[in-house]
């Protein structure tokens, strides 16, 4: 049962008598912000009054008279200028909850209009270890898959692995020049990772050297601009204009500071090399490394047997490496068609674009020019190489042909939004229609200093080390909590470890999923495992708390579920909790609309908070009558079951004890 949907349906019957298309008005039926105004509120009488040229209160009256809500709500109340306040009948709430007790899906009915979704997520470049940046796509995408499936949609999850790009040129080059055969024999992926970093280090150094004069020039330019802007701000007499000039000045100074900071970090990087003779030697020996790496990649792409052989040798090893992380995170995919899978289709894509007159030559490159974009989408470079965009076009075509999806979601960093805007525009021109194409973008993971999360040495943070650290932090929390139990600790060392493992992994996922995905967020190990607040730990704790109530009270919950217990709500806190339990379906629908799992985390957090309030006010084990005790136990059970399913839809497990 989705209460909001049910209400909208009832309103629709009435509103269509007043306007042809009431969809905008239906959107104005919402949960009430304040319990004093009932449970739901319809604010559509005001805009309707305007449309129909009638006083809104009269319109509200007319709607209320025609509405058929008697089985569901008390008589609607008209308040203020024409708000319609709705309060659900306690009887109705009880009946619905009683139904949930015996329903595995907790009253969430599968969608009446199932769609086929392809969800492209995680998609790391496999030649390097996964790092903190990969967490977002992986957990958001996985959670969307789980939620959409639960709602009854067909989902194809596809890990679009970067298994064919320049990074392979880098490890081929690195393997040839820097690999130690013994280390490679023993721990091949570690060794490949090491040579990757060696190559990266040298390339970065040359990039930094190239970048230095560019930044120096920018600093000089900004200095002049700042001086000019300061003068202008000084001279300006008119107040508004002065304010504007001062603001412009501030912005320029900010840019200047950034450039100076970049210059500093570039010189630090370059100086560090001078202090390191071994590195300096490598630099001298590999002056053309960037071109050489490109050449290795090009050779691989053109089918050079030796490079292809190396690629075939490396790839499974790299995939095993990321597989380990997926196992830890309990993430899996229906398909893992990496970029390499599409290689043979790229030429045909470009030929077809040309044949249809969509792609043209420009300065030697083949480009698709798109309305509304400054730069074209390049699909083949001057040297004949295909690009990321070409592969994405081929992928799109393949997916549409193979699965005829209703929607394709790309769970990818917001910094790629220009790429996806162009990809979607090009796809439409290419004739790919009737499929929703959506870049489900997300922001950056920041360190406590508010800058992109890096190690002290300035490297990206490896994902596995983060998982380890979170489990370690979780272990502290679990140990402290157990040690502080009034009746003494109750968990064995092995149990504690098992729980910490679940809690630690959950903490990282939840910290990410509970953010509005479009924003950046600060990675804070302390906060994410806190026992209070909007954390997985708090929700897992609430779940375990219910189990411990049952154990302490000797409550046979299975028998109550089998129909030997009846839910009745009397206390205001019971009612609030009951209503929240019934709103699970609404929360999932919200995620369905804008692909934001944080609607679900917010819902679960609110549920756990209401549960805590209920538990303080309404004794369960010591309830006044056996009937009341059974009713409250069933409410507790519904809370636990909702938490368990809700968390599982976020890819998070519960623990029975904590
Ligand atoms: N491998 C890419 C990267 O690491 C992400 C791929 C996203 N999916 C896609 N179809 N472009 O940036």
Q: Is the distance from the beta carbon of residue 160 to the nearest atom of ligand 1 less than 6 Å?
A: yes
Percent of the chain with pLDDT over 90: 86
Q: Is the distance from the beta carbon of residue 134 to the nearest atom of ligand 1 less than 6 Å?
A: no
Residue closest by Cα to atom 6 of ligand 1: 123
Coil, helix or strand at residue 413: strand
Report how far residue 437's alpha carbon sits from residue 423's, in angstroms, rounded to the nearest whole number: 9
Does residue 406 contact residue 378 with C-beta atoms inside 8 Å? no
Q: Is the distance from the beta carbon of residue 392 to the nearest atom of ligand 1 less than 6 Å?
A: yes
Residue-level pLDDT at 613: 97
Distance 243 CA to ligand 1 centre (A): 43
Q: Is the distance from the beta carbon of residue 123 to the nearest atom of ligand 1 less than 6 Å?
A: yes
Question: What pLDDT digit, counting tens, does each position of 536-562 carry?
Answer: 999 999 999 999 999 999 999 999 999
- In this prediction, residue 113 has a pLDDT band, given cuts at 50, 70 and 90, of very high
Q: Which CATH architecture has domain 118-162+313-446?
A: 3-Layer(aba) Sandwich (3.40)
Distances (CA, A) of 30 to 41, 65, 83, 108, 243: 5, 20, 11, 19, 41
Residue-level pLDDT at 477: 96
Residue closest by Cα to atom 3 of ligand 1: 124
* Residue 130 pLDDT greater than 90, yes or no: no
Question: What length is written for the chain?
Answer: 658
* Residue 470 pLDDT greater than 90, yes or no: yes
Q: Is the distance from the beta carbon of residue 412 to the nearest atom of ligand 1 less than 6 Å?
A: yes
| Contacts for 70 with CB less than 8 Å, ≥ 6 apart | none
Tell me the best of 122, 123, 398, 420 to mutate to test the pocket of ligand 1, counting ligand atoms within 8 Å of each CB and taking the most. 123
Distance 452 CA to ligand 1 centre (A): 19
* Residue 430 pLDDT greater than 90, yes or no: yes
Distance 455 CA to ligand 1 centre (A): 24
* Residue 456 pLDDT greater than 80, yes or no: no
Q: Is the distance from the beta carbon of residue 125 to the nearest atom of ligand 1 less than 6 Å?
A: yes
Q: What is the mean pLDDT of residues 431-452?
A: 94
Average model confidence (pLDDT) for the chain? 94
What is the rounded end-to-end Cα distance, in angstroms, of the chain?
A: 32
Question: What pLDDT digit, counting tens, does each position of 307-346 carry?
Answer: 999 999 999 999 988 999 999 999 999 999 999 999 999 9
Q: What is the mean pLDDT of residues 602-619?
A: 97
Distance 47 CA to ligand 1 centre (A): 44
Largest CA distance in the chain: 87
In this prediction the pTM is 0.91
Q: Is the distance from the beta carbon of residue 158 to the nearest atom of ligand 1 less than 6 Å?
A: no
Report how far residue 598's alpha carbon sits from residue 647's, in angstroms, rounded to the nearest whole number: 12
Residue-level pLDDT at 237: 87
Q: Is the distance from the beta carbon of residue 542 to the nearest atom of ligand 1 less than 6 Å?
A: no
* Residue 407 pLDDT greater than 80, yes or no: yes
CATH assignment of 463-648? 1.10.730.10
Residue closest by Cα to atom 5 of ligand 1: 123
Distance 411 CA to ligand 1 centre (A): 9
Q: Which CATH architecture has domain 3-88?
A: 2-Layer Sandwich (3.30)
Q: Is the distance from the beta carbon of residue 165 to the nearest atom of ligand 1 less than 6 Å?
A: no
* Residue 642 pLDDT greater than 90, yes or no: yes
Q: What is the mean pLDDT of residues 347-351?
A: 97
Q: Is the distance from the beta carbon of residue 410 to the nearest atom of ligand 1 less than 6 Å?
A: yes
Extended strands (E) in 105-248: 116-120, 154-158
Atom of ligand 1 nearest to the CA of 395: 10
Coil, helix or strand at residue 39: coil
Least confident range from 275-279, 441-445, 488-492, 496-500: namely 275-279
Does residue 545 contact residue 469 with C-beta atoms inside 8 Å? no
Residue-level pLDDT at 275: 86
| Contacts for 195 with CB less than 8 Å, ≥ 6 apart | 171, 174, 175, 177, 178, 179
- In this prediction, residue 25 has a pLDDT band, given cuts at 50, 70 and 90, of very high
- In this prediction, residue 254 has a pLDDT band, given cuts at 50, 70 and 90, of very high
Q: Is the distance from the beta carbon of residue 509 to the nearest atom of ligand 1 less than 6 Å?
A: no
Q: Is the distance from the beta carbon of residue 136 to the nearest atom of ligand 1 less than 6 Å?
A: no
- In this prediction, residue 165 has a pLDDT band, given cuts at 50, 70 and 90, of confident
Residue-level pLDDT at 273: 81
Q: Is the distance from the beta carbon of residue 342 to the nearest atom of ligand 1 less than 6 Å?
A: no
Q: Is the distance from the beta carbon of residue 408 to the nearest atom of ligand 1 less than 6 Å?
A: no
Residue-level pLDDT at 296: 95
- Give the torsion sign (CA, 214, 215, 219, 222): positive
Q: Is the distance from the beta carbon of residue 2 to the nearest atom of ligand 1 less than 6 Å?
A: no
Distance 68 CA to ligand 1 centre (A): 51
- In this prediction, residue 376 has a pLDDT band, given cuts at 50, 70 and 90, of very high
Report how far residue 116's alpha carbon sits from residue 130's, in angstroms, rounded to the nearest whole number: 29
Does residue 594 contact residue 602 with C-beta atoms inside 8 Å? no
Q: Is the distance from the beta carbon of residue 120 to the nearest atom of ligand 1 less than 6 Å?
A: yes
Distance 439 CA to ligand 1 centre (A): 11
Distance 393 CA to ligand 1 centre (A): 13
Tell me the best of 338, 412, 414, 437 to mutate to test the pocket of ligand 1, counting ligand atoms within 8 Å of each CB and taking the most. 412
Distance 538 CA to ligand 1 centre (A): 34
* Residue 458 pLDDT greater than 80, yes or no: no
């Amino acid at each position: 049962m989705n209460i909001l949907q049910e209400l909208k349906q009832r309103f629709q019957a009435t509103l269509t008598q007043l306007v042809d298309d009431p969809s905008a008005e239906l959107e104005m039926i919402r949960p009430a912000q304040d319990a004093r105004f009932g449970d739901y509120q319809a604010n559509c009488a005001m805009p309707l009054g305007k449309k129909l040229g009638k006083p809104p209160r009269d319109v509200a009256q007319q709607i209320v008279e025609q509405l058929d809500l008697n089985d569901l709500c008390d008589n609607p109340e008209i308040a203020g200028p024409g708000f319609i306040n709705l309060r659900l009948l306690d009887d109705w709430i009880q009946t619905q909850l009683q139904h949930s007790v015996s329903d595995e899906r907790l009253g969430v009915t599968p969608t009446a209009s199932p769609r086929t979704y392809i969800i492209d997520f995680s998609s790391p470049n496999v030649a390097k270890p996964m790092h903190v940046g990969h967490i977002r796509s992986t957990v958001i995408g996985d959670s969307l898959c789980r939620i959409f499936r639960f709602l009854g949609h067909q989902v194809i999850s596809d890990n679009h692995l970067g298994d064919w790009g320049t990074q392979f040129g880098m490890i081929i080059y690195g393997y040839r020049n820097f690999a130690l055969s013994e280390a490679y024999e023993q721990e091949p992926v570690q060794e490949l990772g090491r040579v990757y970093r060696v190559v990266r280090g040298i390339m970065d150094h040359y990039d930094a050297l190239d970048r230095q004069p560019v930044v120096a020039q920018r600093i000089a330019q900004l200095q002049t601009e700042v001086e000019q802007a300061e003068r202008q701000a000084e001279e300006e007499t008119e107040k508004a204009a002065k304010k504007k000039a001062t603001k412009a000045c501030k912005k320029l100074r900010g840019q200047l500071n950034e450039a100076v900071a970049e210059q500093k970090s570039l010189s630090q990087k370059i100086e560090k090399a001078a202090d390191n003779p071994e590195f300096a030697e490598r630099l001298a020996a590999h002056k053309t490394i960037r071109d050489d790496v490109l050449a290795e990649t090009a050779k691989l792409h053109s089918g050079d047997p030796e490079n292809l052989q190396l690629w075939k040798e490396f790839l499974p090893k790299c995939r095993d490496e990321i597989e380990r992380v997926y196992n830890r995170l309990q993430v899996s995919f229906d398909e893992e068609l990496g970029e390499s899978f599409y290689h043979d289709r790229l030429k045909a894509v470009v030929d077809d674009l040309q044949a249809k007159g969509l792609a043209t030559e420009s300065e030697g490159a083949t480009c698709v020019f798109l309305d509304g974009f400054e730069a074209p989408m390049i699909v083949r470079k001057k040297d004949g190489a295909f690009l990321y965009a070409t592969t994405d076009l081929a992928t799109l075509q393949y997916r549409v042909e193979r699965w005829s999806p209703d929607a394709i979601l790309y769970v990818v960093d917001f910094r790629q939004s220009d790429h996806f805007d162009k990809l979607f525009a090009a796809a439409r021109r290419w004739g790919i229609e009737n499929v929703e194409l959506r870049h489900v973008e997300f922001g950056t993971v920041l360190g406590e200093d508010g800058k992109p999360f890096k190690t002290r040495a300035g490297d990206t943070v490896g994902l596995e080390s983060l998982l380890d650290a979170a489990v370690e932090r979780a272990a502290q929390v679990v140990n402290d909590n157990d040690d502080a139990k009034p009746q003494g600790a109750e968990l064995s060392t092995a149990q504690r470890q098992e729980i910490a493992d679940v809690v630690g992994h959950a903490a990282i996922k939840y910290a990410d999923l509970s953010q509005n995905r479009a924003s950046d967020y600060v990675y804070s190990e302390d906060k994410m495992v806190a026992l209070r607040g909007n954390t997985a730990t708090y929700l897992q704790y609430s779940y375990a708390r219910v189990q411990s109530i049952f154990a302490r009270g000797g409550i046979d919950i299975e028998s109550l579920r089998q129909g030997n217990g009846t839910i009745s709500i009397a206390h205001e806190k019971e009612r609030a909790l009951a209503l929240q339990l019934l709103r699970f379906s609404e929360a999932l629908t919200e995620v369905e609309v804008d692909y934001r799992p944080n609607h679900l985390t917010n819902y679960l957090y609110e549920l756990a908070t209401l549960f805590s309030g209920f538990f303080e006010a309404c004794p369960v084990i010591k309830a006044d009558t056996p009937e009341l005790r059974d009713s409250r136990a069933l409410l507790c059970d519904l809370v636990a079951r909702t938490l368990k399913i809700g968390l599982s839809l976020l890819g998070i497990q519960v623990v029975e004890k904590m």
